[in-house]
């Protein structure tokens, strides 16, 4: 069994990776607009995770009216060209086999997980092309599910995988981690003959693999995080809806959205389902744009970045204005104005401050239009776009990359 991290379903603090139109951080220096294809809102941070496994218990389960059983059933545990096969030919079109039932997958889905999908992959073949699906059902506590996902086409002559369900398909049922982790969870499958003729059915199954997709909320549900000018300083406020095993929060500051310094740690509430409001003060902010990042640390030392905001304390020198990013069908297009010709460097950073891409352009006075050429390679999520103008302070803002 192994775990696989999946990034295509991440929802962050009231924002979603797909939005219709967002206006972010319009300030003295620049404004940025993002036009997206869809919209959704969520308050909690979720990361979709997948856990895959093979079964440990293989059995033939009778179906009324079937004509053959399965033998060598444990051969369906590995992709090794050793096969579970029917005990005999299915001679007449419409004849079908018993169920091959596989359970005991030994999943370890964490408590509190929200099961979002179940995918089953079967590696099978029939050299004569005379076999097809008869039934394909999920098994819960040893009982067959109602939903049948069998597919009609004849099996291929050589081994290939057929997938059933998916990352957002729960087979018509609500699941808990206990249901999935149970020894009685699994899959049952039966084959039938397709077409006539003298050729026998040569159905064989090499492996059955199940993947569970689930969302596990982070220990903190963040309702909001904001920074505002307060005299000569910056006041930072955030509010949580719930906290689980939350030791403390950290406030960090940066002038470029990349390199951060710790300002203050603030003790968390540990475990609570009551909303809490927190505050911190930066009494000596930098002139110009300041980036503030809020992170959270569990009792076990696990650190998670929750959100980043910006505030401008004074008008910084910049030769660029009216920056706009339009999410076209292929790649985002960047448009901005310069008050003089200058060398422009456009950088893209992830929320951890890691440089993802950097492009340099020869900007001209007036309107400039460029394409973020590597945007199509970005995983869905939040990023920082930083515009470096020759002989001027850098400016930056967040944007959202969507799936392609």
CA 46 centroid distance within chain: 8
pTM of the model: 0.52
**Separation of alpha carbons 68 and 49, rounded Å:** 39
Structure-block tokens of residue 348? 């893209």
pLDDT in single tens digits along all 404 residues of the chain: 333 333 333 332 222 222 222 222 222 222 222 222 222 222 233 456 778 889 999 999 999 999 999 999 999 999 999 999 999 999 999 999 999 999 999 999 887 788 999 999 999 999 999 999 999 999 999 999 999 999 999 999 999 999 999 999 999 999 999 999 999 999 999 999 999 999 999 999 999 999 999 887 778 989 999 999 998 899 999 999 999 889 999 999 998 888 899 999 999 999 999 999 999 999 999 888 899 999 999 988 888 889 999 998 864 445 666 666 655 444 667 777 777 778 888 888 787 778 888 888 888 888 878 877 665 677 777 777 777 876 666 777 676 776 55
Number of Cβ atoms within 10 Å of the Cβ of 228: 11
What count of residues does the chain have? 404
Q: Are 141 and 179 in contact (CB under 8 A)?
A: yes
C-beta neighbour count of 163 within 10 angstroms: 13
**In the chain, ranges of CATH 2.60.120 domains:** 49-215
Classify 320-401 by CATH class.
Answer: mainly beta
CA 142, CA 164: separation in Å to the nearest integer? 19
For residue 223, give the H/E element and its range.
strand 220-230
**Architecture of 49-215 per CATH?**
Sandwich (2.60)
pLDDT value of residue 17:
28
Residue 7 · residue 167 · CB < 8 Å:
no
Q: Which of 118, 127, 139 is nearest to 189 (CA)?
A: 139
Question: According to the model, what pLDDT value does residue 137 have?
Answer: 98
CB 77 within 8 A of CB 37: no
CATH 2.60.40.2550 range(s) for the chain read 320-401
């Amino acid at each position: 069994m192994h775990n696989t991290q999946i990034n295509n379903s991440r929802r962050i603090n009231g924002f979603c990776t797909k939005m219709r139109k967002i206006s972010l951080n319009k300030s003295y220096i620049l404004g940025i607009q993002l036009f997206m294809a869809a919209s959704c809102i969520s308050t909690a941070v979720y990361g979709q995770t997948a856990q895959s496994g093979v079964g440990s218990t293989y059995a033939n389960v009778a179906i009324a009216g079937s004509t053959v059983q399965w033998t060598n059933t444990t051969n369906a545990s590995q992709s090794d060209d050793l096969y579970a096969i029917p005990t005999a030919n299915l001679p007449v079109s419409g004849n079908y086999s018993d169920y091959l039932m596989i359970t005991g997958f030994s999943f370890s889905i964490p408590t509190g997980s929200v099961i979002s999908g179940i995918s089953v992959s079967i590696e099978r073949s029939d050299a004569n092309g005379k076999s097809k699906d008869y039934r394909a059902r999920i098994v819960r506590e040893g009982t067959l599910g109602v939903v049948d996902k069998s597919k009609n086409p004849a099996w291929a002559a050589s081994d290939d995988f057929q997938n059933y369900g998916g990352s957002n398909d729960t087979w018509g049922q609500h699941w808990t981690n206990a249901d999935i982790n149970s020894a009685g969870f699994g899959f049952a499958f039966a084959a039938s003959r397709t077409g006539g003729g003298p050729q026998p059915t040569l159905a064989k199954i090499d492996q059955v693999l199940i993947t569970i997709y689930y969302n596990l909320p982070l220990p903190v549900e963040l309702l909001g995080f904001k920074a505002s000018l307060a005299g000569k300083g910056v006041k930072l406020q955030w509010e949580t809806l719930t906290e689980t095993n939350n030791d403390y929060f950290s406030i960090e500051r940066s002038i470029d959205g990349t390199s951060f310094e710790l300002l203050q740690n603030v003790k968390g509430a540990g475990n609570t389902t009551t909303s809490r409001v927190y505050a911190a003060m930066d009494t000596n902010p930098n002139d110009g744009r300041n980036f503030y990042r809020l992170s959270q640390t569990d009792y076990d030392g696990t650190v998670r970045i929750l959100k980043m905001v910006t505030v401008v304390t004074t008008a910084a020198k910049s030769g660029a204005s009216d920056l706009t990013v339009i999410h076209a069908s292929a790649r985002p297009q960047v448009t901005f104005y310069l008050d003089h010709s200058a060398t422009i460097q456009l950088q893209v950073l992830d929320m951890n401050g890691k440089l993802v891409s950097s492009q340099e352009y020869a900007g001209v006075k007036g309107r400039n239009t460029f394409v973020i050429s590597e945007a199509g390679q970005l995983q869905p999520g939040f990023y920082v776009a930083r515009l470096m103008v020759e002989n001027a302070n850098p400016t930056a803002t967040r944007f959202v990359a969507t799936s392609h």
